[in-house]
Structure formats: structure tokens, C-alpha cells
């Protein structure tokens, strides 16, 4: 028996019940992969009184479609609505060209819910999986995302990331003309938004701890840039830096013991690390140029960063044990905001060519670059923990929005905000 265990996030929602609870991001799928897999997600049965506050089958179908790998058969076209343990008449689904069928059932269980779901291969006429999963009364969306993850991994062999979270910055102009800044926490599909920090001063560069329990970010609330870290469950905050000059771009090490950052306390913007247990700062780079935007290699043995030491912004890597620095990017007149894919095989970055900013990937082994986006002013890429998609900030119809694209550029999704400008997304690690 699988039980969804998200006590941290349930506690977070209950302890900060005054947070904004209405989702403001919408999903607009622009591109699917060529010949996406057709899946029928039948309406899940409900064995309790009244109606459920969330439709699990609707959430699952939307999750799978958002991946770009699947197209969901419209429920209006379905000839039957089977439930777990029902006899499946495969011809009803073959006529709809459905390759797979997902059925489910929800019932009250120990103060929450038990969902039983089954996945069928229509053309092979066999059941691929059958599983019950339990969750609390506030966890219907969590149960739905878990089912999406399970189905996605069963059919693609890649771990699903629908149960993950995102944080991002929203800037909303007030009647006074001033901007209000919010650091927002949400499901990966933009639902269940919560404001975890609100300020009249800018908030920038949010970054997740590797266990998903804390975030670090830059705030100007003290009249100059300072780096803070904040616990998600309690809201407890701690200011980590208070130096004159730049204090920016925090990035957690893979083991969660250090944070890399940019400081200009010694006169020039350089890369430093802060050991969170000893509170010791270590200077990593020493160069008269501007070194900024650090991020860790997947093994934690090096830091990649942006520097103009070659004349224009390009991406470099420093090996921490030796201090050796090497340049990684050569194509294009501007490469910045580096990130490393979870498997360590690709560099993700903002890439400018002929004056236009796009999101691109570069394969470490070959150096080959692939431009992923077609919009302009694309920035702040953040890779999903399964490496299948990345999220970034861009502009659409004169407004700052979030968007997502697969690392092979075959899938494109927009997540525009209904109210303010959205920027600087950060995708969480796996949370369970």
C-alpha cells in the first residue's frame, strides 16, 4: 500500500493559512512531440457522499498532456466509463485510437481518501499496473500527481516530475505605481499558489535546497542586496550576508552543506561559498573581470559561472580541488545563467545570437549547442529534476510569463500569470 507522505507541505499550508490560495498561472500547450501517445483517462468513480473538491482524472489528463508526450482522449467521446476490476471491452477504446486506458476509483479512508487505479495497454489487451494509494483530506491533488508520475514512468521509463513544486517571483504594479514583489510557491502545474514572501523591495534569484525544505533568495528589504534562507514549513528566515556591494545569486551545493554566491566585498564581483555549519566564506575565483551566476556541477566538485574575463559574458567552470578554471562556451556572443542537467550531460544557459536571447543547451561531451526556444528575451532557465523539461521566463504580449520546453525542443508550454509579471522560476528537486 502506497501512502502519499507530504507532511511538510500540508503543515506549510495549514500554518500559513493566510497565504494567497488561488492559482494564477494557466497552462497553454503550444507543441506536442510528433505522434504523441493517445491515452484515455476515464472518469474516476467516487464512493462517498457529495462531490469531491478536485477531479483526479482531470488533473491526471492535464499532467500527461502538459508533458507533451501524451494526448488525452476527450471524455465526451468515450463509449464507457469503467472502474477498477470491471471487465474492459478493448474494442471500445481501439475505435477511439486510444493506446492506453487509465481507470480509477476514490473512496473515503481513515479520514482521507484511498484511490485505486489501473492502467491498461489497449492493443496488447493487458493490464500494466494496479495500485491503491492513500492520502489525507487535503491531498487530492497530491494523489493525482502521484498517479500521473506512476503512469508517466511506466510508459516512458523516465521518473515523473508532476509531484514537484516551483517557486518564482511575481511583480505586480499597485495603484500607487509602485511594484509589489512576491515569492510564490506552487505545484509544478501552477496550482495551489502560496506567497512565501511579500515585499515592496525587489526579490531575486530564488534557489531550492536539495532536500526541498528550504529556499534561498536575494532581497533588497535592508536597502541593499542581501541573501536570505527560509524554511518552508515554518516560514523561519535567516539573513546570510550583509556585506557592502553585491550579495547575489545563491546556489545550494548538491549535499546541502554550502551555498555558492556572488560577493563584491573585496572590491570585485567574485564567486564565494558559504559553509552553512561553520559560517565560513571561501573565495573561489580571483580575477579582475566580473564573475557571477554560480551553479554547481552535478557531482558537487566544481562550480560553473558566468564571466566576462574573455571580453564578453561566457560560461566557465572551476574545479574546487585545484582551482583550475576552463572556458566551456565559445559559440555565440553571449552565454550566461548556466545550469547543469540532472544527469550532468548538458549545460543549460541563456544564449544570445545576432542580438536575440534564447534558451539553449550544450552537450558537455561534444560541445554541440541546441537552441530550444523561439521567443525573445528568454532568461532564468531551471531544469526539472528528471531532466525532461526546463522552465524559464520570457515575455508574451508585453507581459512577463513563465514557459517550459523539453530538452529536445519538441514540447513547448506557456504558463502565463493572470495578474502580475512572472519571472525567475526555480524547479524543485524530487520531494518524495
Q: In this model, does residue 402 exceed pLDDT 50?
A: yes
Q: In this model, does residue 365 exceed pLDDT 50?
A: yes
Span of 88-102, 133-147, 375-389 with lowest mean pLDDT = 375-389
Instruction: Characterise 187 by phi-psi region: left (phi > 0), alpha (psi -120 to 50), beta (else).
Output: beta
Helix 56-66 to helix 140-156 angle, to the nearest 10 degrees?
Answer: 40
The pLDDT > 90 percentage for the chain reads: 78
For 391-400, write each residue's pLDDT tens digit.
Answer: 999 988 888 9
Which three-class secondary structure state does DSSP give residue 212? coil
C-alpha cell at 199: 515585499
Distance, in Å, from the CA atom of 227 to the CA atom of 245, rounded to the nearest integer, reads 12
Among residues 233, 282, 238, 242, the alpha carbon closest in space to that of 259 is found at 282
CA atoms within 13 A on the CB side of 114: 11
b/e 257-295 (16+ beta carbons within 10 angstroms → b): ebbbbbbbbeebbbbbbbebeeeebeebbeeebbbbbbb
- What pLDDT is attached to residue 354? 79
Among residues 354, 356, 357, 346, the alpha carbon closest in space to that of 408 is found at 346
Span of 35-44, 300-309, 375-384 with lowest mean pLDDT = 375-384
- What pLDDT is attached to residue 20? 40
Which three-class secondary structure state does DSSP give residue 383? strand
Span of 51-60, 95-104, 155-164, 175-184 with lowest mean pLDDT = 175-184
- What pLDDT is attached to residue 16? 39
Q: In this model, does residue 429 exceed pLDDT 90?
A: yes
Distance, in Å, from the CA atom of 47 to the CA atom of 353, rounded to the nearest integer, reads 57
Among residues 246, 327, 324, 254, the alpha carbon closest in space to that of 292 is found at 246
Distance, in Å, from the CA atom of 392 to the CA atom of 380, rounded to the nearest integer, reads 5
What mean pLDDT value characterizes the chain? 91
- Give the Cα-Cα-Cα angle 27, 29, 32 (nearest 5 degrees): 150
Higher per-residue pLDDT: 409 or 190: 190
- What pLDDT is attached to residue 397? 84
- What pLDDT is attached to residue 356? 86
- What pLDDT is attached to residue 13? 38
* Chain position carrying cell 491526471: 60
For 148-172, write each residue's pLDDT tens digit.
Answer: 999 999 999 999 999 999 999 999 8
Task: Give yes or no for a contact between 263 and 269, defined as CB atoms under 8 angstroms apart.
Answer: yes
**CA of 231: how far to CAs of 167, 226, 234, in Å?**
13, 17, 6
- What pLDDT is attached to residue 250? 98
- What pLDDT is attached to residue 21? 40
For residues 350-369, average pLDDT: 91
DSSP letter (8 states) at residue 88: P
Higher per-residue pLDDT: 404 or 31: 404
**What are the contacts of 93-97 at 24+ separation with CB within 8 A?**
93/40, 93/122, 94/122, 94/123, 96/38, 96/40, 97/38, 97/73
- What pLDDT is attached to residue 7? 39
Q: In this model, does residue 8 exceed pLDDT 60?
A: no
- What pLDDT is attached to residue 24? 59
pLDDT-based confidence at residue 5 (cuts at 50, 70, 90): low
* Chain position carrying cell 548538458: 346
**CA of 103: how far to CAs of 39, 117, 365, 391, in Å?**
11, 6, 43, 30
For residues 334-340, average pLDDT: 96
Beta bridge partners of 9: none
pLDDT-based confidence at residue 180 (cuts at 50, 70, 90): very high
Q: Which helix (H) or strand (E) holds 59?
A: helix 56-66
- What pLDDT is attached to residue 398? 83
Q: In this model, does residue 147 exceed pLDDT 90?
A: yes
For residues 103-130, average pLDDT: 97
Q: In this model, does residue 124 exceed pLDDT 80?
A: yes
- What pLDDT is attached to residue 23? 43
CA atoms within 13 A on the CB side of 353: 16
For 10-69, write each residue's pLDDT tens digit.
Answer: 344 333 333 344 445 666 666 666 789 999 999 999 999 999 999 999 999 999 998 989
Task: Give yes or no for a contact between 271 and 306, defined as CB atoms under 8 angstroms apart.
Answer: no
b/e 364-388 (16+ beta carbons within 10 angstroms → b): beeeebeebbebeebbbbbbbbbbb
What structural domains and CATH numbers belong to the chain? 32-156 (3.40.50.10070), 165-427 (2.120.10.30)
Instruction: Compute the Cα dihedral for 133, 138, 144, 146 and give only its sign.
Output: negative
Q: In this model, does residue 420 exceed pLDDT 90?
A: no
Amino acid at each position: 500500500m502506497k501512502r502519499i507522505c507530504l507532511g511538510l507541505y500540508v503543515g506549510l499550508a495549514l500554518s500559513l493559512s493566510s497565504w494567497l490560495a488561488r492559482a494564477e498561472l494557466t497552462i497553454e500547450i503550444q507543441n506536442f512531440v510528433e505522434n504523441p501517445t493517445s491515452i484515455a483517462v476515464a472518469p474516476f468513480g467516487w464512493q462517498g457522499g457529495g462531490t469531491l473538491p478536485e477531479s483526479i482524472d482531470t488533473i491526471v489528463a492535464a499532467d500527461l498532456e502538459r508533458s507533451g508526450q501524451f494526448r488525452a482522449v476527450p471524455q465526451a467521446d468515450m463509449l464507457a466509463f469503467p472502474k477498477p476490476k470491471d471487465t474492459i471491452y478493448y474494442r471500445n477504446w481501439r475505435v477511439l485510437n486510444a493506446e492506453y486506458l487509465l481507470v480509477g476509483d476514490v473512496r473515503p479512508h481513515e479520514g482521507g481518501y484511498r484511490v485505486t487505479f489501473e492502467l491498461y495497454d489497449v492493443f496488447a489487451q493487458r493490464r500494466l499496473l494496479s495500485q491503491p494509494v492513500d492520502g489525507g483530506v487535503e491531498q487530492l491533488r497530491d494523489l493525482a500527481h502521484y498517479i500521473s508520475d506512476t503512469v508517466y514512468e511506466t510508459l516512458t521509463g523516465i521518473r515523473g516530475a508532476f509531484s514537484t513544486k516551483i517557486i518564482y517571483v511575481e511583480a505586480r504594479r499597485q495603484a500607487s505605481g509602485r511594484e509589489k514583489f512576491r515569492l510564490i510557491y506552487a505545484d509544478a502545474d501552477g496550482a495551489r499558489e502560496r506567497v512565501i514572501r511579500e515585499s515592496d523591495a525587489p526579490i531575486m534569484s530564488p534557489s531550492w535546497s536539495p532536500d526541498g525544505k528550504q529556499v534561498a533568495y536575494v532581497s533588497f528589504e535592508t536597502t541593499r542586496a542581501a541573501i536570505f534562507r527560509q524554511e518552508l514549513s515554518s516560514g523561519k528566515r535567516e539573513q546570510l550576508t550583509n556585506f557592502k556591494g553585491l550579495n547575489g545569486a545563491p546556489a545550494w551545493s548538491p549535499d546541502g552543506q554550502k551555498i555558492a554566491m556572488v560577493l563584491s566585498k573585496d572590491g570585485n564581483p567574485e564567486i564565494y561559498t558559504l559553509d552553512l555549519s561553520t559560517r565560513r566564506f571561501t573565495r573561489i575565483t580571483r580575477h579582475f573581470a566580473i564573475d557571477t551566476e554560480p551553479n554547481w556541477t552535478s557531482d558537487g566538485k566544481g562550480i560553473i559561472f558566468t564571466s566576462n574575463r574573455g571580453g564578453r559574458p561566457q560560461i566557465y567552470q572551476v574545479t574546487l580541488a585545484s582551482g583550475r578554471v576552463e572556458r566551456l562556451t565559445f559559440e555565440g556572443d553571449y552565454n550566461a545563467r548556466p545550469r547543469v542537467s540532472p544527469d550532468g550531460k548538458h549545460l543549460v544557459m541563456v544564449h544570445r545570437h545576432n542580438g536575440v536571447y534564447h534558451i539553449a543547451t550544450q552537450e558537455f561531451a561534444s560541445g554541440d549547442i541546441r537552441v530550444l526556444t523561439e521567443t525573445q528575451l528568454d532568461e532564468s532557465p531551471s531544469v526539472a529534476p528528471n531532466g525532461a523539461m526546463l522552465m524559464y521566463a520570457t515575455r508574451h504580449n508585453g507581459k512577463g510569463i513563465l514557459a517550459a520546453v523539453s530538452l529536445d525542443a519538441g514540447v513547448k508550454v506557456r504558463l502565463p500569470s493572470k495578474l502580475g509579471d512572472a519571472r525567475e522560476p526555480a524547479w524543485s528537486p524530487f520531494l518524495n
